[in-house]
Chain A
Amino acid sequence: MANNQSGSGSRLVAATLAFILVAFTFSTIYVFAARVWWPPETISLMGPVIDAQLVRTLIICGVIFFLAQLLLAFVILRYRDRGQRAHYSHGNNTMEIIWTSATAILFLALGIAAESSWAELRLRGAAPGAVQVEVTGQQFAWNFRYPGPDGTFGRTDPTLINDSAGNPLGVDFDDPAAQDDIITPVMAVPLNQEVEVILRSKDVLHSFFVRELRFKQDTVPGLAIRLHFTANKVGRYEIVCAELCGMQHHRMRTYLEVLPPDEYQSWLQEQAAF
C-alpha cells in the first residue's frame, strides 16, 4: 500500500488525535458547566422555567457529547493499525435496536418536557387587566404606546404616519380614544404585574429581544402579535433587535425600565405631559 503509515507513525497520530478530542471535550464541558458564558440573571416570572429546560438539555447533551467524543478517542487509540487483523462483522441488530430506541425515548422525552412551558408562554392569553403596551418596530427604532387612562388604544392609519411631525405610529388624534395615548421611545413596565405586549412593525421584520426577560418575538408587518410577561426585578435592561432589518440593525436598541408600581404611574404621567 503506497501510503501505508502503520507502525510508529500511526501511534503518534492516534495519540495526538485522541488527545485533541479529550482536551476539546473537557474544555467545552468546563465552559458550559462553570457558566463562563451564560444568560444574565432572569427578571421574568417564567424565566426560571425556561432556564431549567435549558439546563436539562445541557446536561443530557453534555453527557452524550462526553461519552461519544471519548468513545471516538478510545476506538482511535485502541484499534489503530498494529498489524492485527480487523474483526469481520456486518453489525449487530440488537445494538441497533437498543441505541435507536434509547435515543428516541431520550430526545422525545426531552422535547415533551419543554412543551408545557411553551403552552404557558404562547398559548395562554394574558390575564384580564394586564398592563397593555403596544410595541412597534421600524427601521431603526422602537416605539411604545400606552392606551392611557381610558384603557383603549386610539385608531391608527398608516397614511397619517409622519416621523418628522412626531407621529411615528400614525395615530388618528381625531379619535377620542387616541387623545390620552402615550407614545414613548423607552419602555417602562410595573413590577410584578402581568404585561401584555402587542407587537407590530411598520416596515420590515424586527425582533423584540430582552435577554433578562427570556423574551424574543419577531414583529411582523401586517400582524399584531399578543404575548405576555411578568417582570419581577426592578432595573433597566436593554431591548435589542434580533431579526435582520437593514443597515442599522445592530443599533436598534432601547431600554426596558422595570419600576415599582408608584414610580411606574408617575413615569406614565410624566410621559403624558409631552
Chain B
Amino acid sequence: MATEAHPLVHEAPQGFVWKYIFSKDHKVIGIQYLLLAMVSVVIGMYLSVLMRFHLAWPNAKLPFSDDIMTSEHYLALMTMHGTIMVFFVLTTAPQSGFGNYFLPIQIGAADMAFPTLNMLSFWFTFVSLMVMVAAFFVTGGAPISGWTAYAPLSALGEIAGPGLGLGQTLWIFSLAIFCGASLMGSLNFITTTLDLRARGMSLMRMPLTVWAWFITAILMLLAFAVLLAAGVLLLLDRLAATSFFIPGGLVVSDQLIAHQGGSPLLWQHLLWFFGHPEVYIAILPGMGIVSHVISCFSRKPIFGYRAMVYALFAIALLGLMVWGHHMFVSGMSPYSAFAFSLLTMCIGVPSAIKTFNWIGTLWGGKIRFTTAMLFAIGFVSVFISGGLGGIFLAQPTVDIFLHDTYFVVGHFHLTMGVAAIFGMFAGTYFWFPKMFGRFMNESLGKLHFWISFIGIYAIFMPMHFIGLAGHPRRYADTTGVDFLAEMNPVHLFITIVALVTVGVQIVFFLNFFWSMRKGKKAEINPWHATTLEWTVSSPPPHDNFAGRPPTIYRGAYEYSVPGAPQDYSPQHVPEGVSAPVSDR
C-alpha cells in the first residue's frame, strides 16, 4: 500500500496516439473496452434480429436482401451471436471495461499495477475480435457449431458442414487470443486489489464493486486457462491430426475418418469447466454494480455487507464445481449427476442471500428512482426470475426433458444475458457523469428502461413456456417437426417484441453519444455518494489523485449515519468533518 506519493505514477502521455490509442491509463483502457463491447453488442444484436426475423417468417426474404436465409446461415449467425455476446460483451464490458476504469480509483490507486500489461490485454482483445469477425468473410463462412463448439462437429473440418473449415479455425484462434488477454487482465486486477489499496482501505472497507471485480478476476484466471488448453487441443485435432476429441471409426458423409482414440465428452468437460464459471464472470460484476447503486439510491448502508462478500466467494467457489450440470444427458457417468446436481442447488443459497440483502437494503430506505436505480432494481427482478429457472435445470430428472430446449435459452438469457446487461446499464447511467463530466438524459434513460424491462420479460418468459412444451433449441426453422407448428405464434410474438426492444436500444446509444458532448454538466459528486471515485474531478485527472492518495476512515456505504452532517459520509473524510464544499 502506498503511503506517500504513489510510486507508480507515470507522466501524462503526450500526443493523440499515446494518449488515446496505445494508452496505459486504466481509464482510457476502460473506455476502450467499453467501446469495443458497444461495437460488439451492436453486431451481436444485429445477428439476433436476423435470426428472430427468420424464425418468425421462415419463407420471407431477409430485409435489404434477395435471399431467404439458409439453415447453415442461421446456424452461423447463432454461433457468432453467442460467441460475440459471451466473450466480447458480457466478459469485456462489466469486468474489463468498468473494472479497469473504477477499480483503481475506488481503492485509491493511481493506476493498475501493470499498466503496460493492461494496454497489451486490451489490444489482444481487439485482435481477437478482428479474427472472430474475419470468420464471416472466409470461404465457407462462420462456424455452425454453436458457441459451445461441441466436438466432434467442431473438430472434423469442412466435411461435417459449412463454416467448419477455416471459419472454425479462426474461431478457435480468436478465443485463444482472448484467453491470453483475459489471463493478463485478471493478473492485473488481482495484484492491483491486493497491493495498491490506499491507507485505511482494508478489505472489508472495499466497495462491493471491487470485491466483485476481484473475485471475478480469480475466476477468470482459473477458467480461461482451461479454455486456452481446450482450444489448443482442438486446434491440434484439426491441424495436426491428433485425436483428443475424435474417437475411432467415425463415418461422415460416407467417408471413414482417420482419427482414433479421442473422447467427445472430454471437450464438454473442459469447455464447461470454463463455461460455467464464465456465467459468473459475466454476472458477478453486475452484482457488484447493483449493490453499489442500490445502496446509494436507497441512502442506506448495504444490508449484510459481509454476507454479500461471502456470498460472492461462495458463488465463485461453487461455480467451479458444477460444470457437470450441463452434461446430465451427455453420456457421462450417471452417478456424477448426484454431486453436480446437489452442488448446483447449493448455488441457490448464496444467490438467495444476495437477493434478500438487496431487498433488505431497499427496506427502510429513501429510494430515489434515477435511471441507474431503475436498472439496478430491474436486475434484482430479472435475477430472481432467471435464477429460479436454474432450480429446474439443476435436477437431472427434470433436466432430461428441459435440456437443450428453449427453456434453457430463456433461462440463460435472463441471467447471464439480461441481468448482466442491466448491471452494465446501471453502471453506465450511474458513472457516466464521472467518466465524461456530463449527465445522460434521464427522460430518455427512463424511456429506455421501461421498454427494455417489459420487452425482455416478453421475449424471454415465452421462451420458457415453449421450452416447457418441448421446443428444442438451435433449430433453424420449425417446419421439419409437426409438434412445433402450434408454437409458431409464440415465435412471431417474440420477434415483434424483440424488434421493439432492440429499437429502444438505439435511444440508449443516441443518449450516450449525445450526452458526451451536450449533456448537463456534472459536479464532482452529483449522487452524493460515499466512495472514492466521487472525490476526484469528472472526468478524473491522469493519475487520479494527483500523487496524493487518500486515507480511508470508514466502510464504503455509510449513508444516513445518525448525527452526521449530511446523509452520506464519504470514505475519505475523517470523523467529525463534514464533506468538502466541492462535494455538495
| A76 B362 Cβ-Cβ under 8 A | yes
Interface residues of A in 128-159 (CB under 8 A from B): 138-139, 158-159
- A248 on the interface (CB 8 Å rule)? yes
Task: Render A101-129 as a binary contact track against B, CB cut-off 8 A, 1 for contact.
Answer: 00110011011101101100111000000
| With A114-B398, A220-B331 as contacts: A96 and B307 at CB distance below 8 Å | yes
Interface with A: B3-11, B99-107, B243-251, which one? B243-251
User: In the bound complex, how far is the Cα of B368 from the Cα of A92, in angstroms?
Assistant: 24
Q: In the docked arrangement, what's the CA distance between A86 and B251, Å?
A: 69
Segment at the A interface, from B39-47, B505-513, B559-567? B559-567
Among the 9-residue stretches A32-40, A179-187, A259-267, the one with 4 or more Cβ atoms under 8 Å from chain B is A32-40
Q: Is the CB of A81 within 8 A of B368?
A: yes
Q: Residue B453 at the A interface, CB < 8 A?
A: yes
Selected from B153, B265, B331, B465, the residue in CB contact (under 8 A) with A204 is B153
Chain A residues with Cβ below 8 Å from B152 are 203-205, 221
A50–chain B nearest beta-carbon distance, Å: 6
Alpha-carbon distance between A220 and B110 when the two chains are bound, in angstroms: 53
Interface residues on B, range: 35 or more
A31 to B463, CA, bound (A): 12
Does B481 touch A at the CB level, under 8 Å?
A: yes
Contact assessment for B144 and A246 in the assembled complex, using a CB-CB cutoff below 8 Å: yes
Complex Cα gap A50–B402 (Å): 11
CA distance A4 to B567 in the complex (A): 14
Within 8 A of A (CB), among B199-218: none
Q: Are A86 and B526 in contact (CB under 8 A)?
A: no
From the candidates A3, A111, A247, name the one contacting B342 in the complex (CB within 8 A): A111
Provide the residues of chain A in CB contact with B161, threshold 8 Å. 139, 246-247
- Asked if B348 is at the interface of the complex by the 8 Å CB criterion, the answer is yes
Residues in B whose Cβ lies below 8 Å from that of A223: 247, 265, 331
CB-based contact A79/B363 at 8 Å: yes
Instruction: Report which of B298, B439, B446, B520 forms a contact with A13, defined as CB distance below 8 A.
Output: B446
List of A residues within 8 angstroms of B299 by Cβ:
86
Which residues in chain B, 392-415, are within 8 Å of chain A measured between CB atoms?
392, 394-398, 400-401, 403-405
Q: Does B256 contact A (CB under 8 A)?
A: yes
Bound complex: CA A13 to CA B368 (Å): 10
Question: A23-57, CB under 8 A of B: which get 1 and which 0?
Answer: 01000100110001111100000000110011001
| Binding stretch for chain A, among B127-135, B234-242, B376-384 | B376-384
Answer whether A204 and B156 are a contact pair too, CB < 8 Å, given A39-B401, A222-B249, A242-B405.
Answer: yes
| Chain A residues with CB under 8 A of B397 | 49-50, 53, 114-115, 117-118, 121
Question: Nearest chain A CB to B286's CB is how many angstroms away?
Answer: 17
Most B Cβ at <10 Å: residue of A85, A117, A244: A244
B145 contacts A86, CB within 8 Å?
A: no
| Minimum CB distance partner of B467 in chain A | A37
With the chains together, A123 CA to B520 CA distance in Å?
65
Task: Name B359-390 residues within 8 Å CB distance of A.
Answer: 359-360, 362-370, 374, 377, 380-381, 384-385, 388
In angstroms, how far is the closest chain B Cβ from the Cβ of A95?
Answer: 7
Contact, CB under 8 Å: A222 / B388:
no
Contact of B481 among A37, A118, A216, A250 (CB under 8 A): A250
In the complex, chain A residues whose CB is within 8 Å of the CB of B265: 220, 223
Q: In the complex, are the beta carbons of B71 and A247 less than 8 A apart?
A: yes
A114 and B341 contacting across the interface, CB-CB below 8 Å? yes
Residues of B within 8 A of A249 (CB): 71, 75, 474-476
With A37-B465, A205-B264 given, is the CB distance from A218 to B331 under 8 Å? yes
Give Cα distance in the complex from A23 to B79, angstroms.
Answer: 35
Interface secondary structure of A, over-half rule: mixed
Q: What residues of B have a CB within 8 angstroms of the CB of A244 in the complex?
A: 75, 145-146, 150, 153, 474
> Which residues of chain B are near A17, meaning CB under 8 Å?
369, 374, 377
Give the chain B neighbours of A90 by CB distance below 8 A.
Answer: 301-305
B537 interfacial by beta-carbon distance below 8 Å: no
Residues in B with CB closer than 8 Å to A87 are 300, 363-365, 560
Question: In the complex, what's the smallest C-beta–C-beta distance from B80 to chain A, in angstroms?
Answer: 14
Question: Which A residues lie within 8 Å of B330 (CB)?
Answer: 218, 220
- Residue from the list A40, A69, A111, A202 in contact with B250, Cβ < 8 A: A202
Please indicate the chain A residues that have their CB under 8 angstroms from the CB of B551 in the complex: none
Binds A, one of B20-28, B86-94, B350-358: B350-358
User: How near does chain A come to B364, taking the closest CB pair, in angstroms?
Assistant: 3
The reply to whether A242 and B156 contact each other, CB–CB distance below 8 Å, is no
A234 within 8 A of B: no
Chain A residue nearest in CB terms to B433: A2
CB distance from A132 to the nearest CB of B (A): 19
CA gap between A60 and B189 in the complex, in Å: 39
* Shortest distance from the beta carbon of B268 to any chain A beta carbon, whole Å: 9
Assess whether A13 is in contact with B369, with CB atoms less than 8 Å apart: yes
The reply to whether B337 and A37 form a contact with Cβ atoms under 8 Å apart is no
- Cα A253 to Cα B477 in complex, Å, equals 13
A85 CA / B27 CA spacing, docked (Å) = 35
The docked-state distance in angstroms from the alpha carbon of A1 to that of B411 is 38
User: A53 — which chain B residues lie within 8 A by C-beta?
Assistant: 395, 397-398
List of A residues within 8 angstroms of B403 by Cβ: 216, 242
Apart from A240-B472, A253-B481, 20 more pairs, CB < 8 Å: A5-B369, A16-B450, A21-B381, A50-B398, A50-B401, A75-B363, A79-B365, A91-B305, A99-B352, A108-B342, A158-B250, A202-B251, A204-B252, A205-B264, A218-B331, A221-B249, A238-B481, A242-B404, A242-B405, A244-B153
Query: 11 A-B Cβ contacts within 8 A?
Result: A13-B369, A16-B450, A31-B461, A76-B362, A79-B298, A112-B342, A118-B334, A158-B248, A162-B254, A241-B472, A253-B481
- List chain A positions with a Cβ less than 8 A from chain B: 1-6, 9-10, 13-14, 16-17, 20-21, 24, 28, 31-32, 36-40, 49-50, 53-54, 57-58, 60-61, 64-65, 68-69, 71-72, 75-76, 79-82, 84-92, 95-96, 99-100, 103-104, 107-108, 110-112, 114-115, 117-118, 121-123, 138-139, 158-159, 161-164, 170, 202-205, 207, 209, 211, 214-218, 220-223, 225, 238, 240-253
Which residues of B approach A to under 8 Å, CB–CB?
71-72, 75, 144-146, 150, 152-153, 156, 160-162, 247-254, 256, 262-265, 298-305, 307, 329-331, 334-335, 337-338, 341-342, 344-346, 348-349, 352-353, 355-357, 359-360, 362-370, 374, 377, 380-381, 384-385, 388, 391-392, 394-398, 400-401, 403-405, 433, 439, 442, 446, 450, 453-454, 457, 461, 465-466, 468-470, 472, 474-483, 520, 522-523, 526-528, 559-562, 567
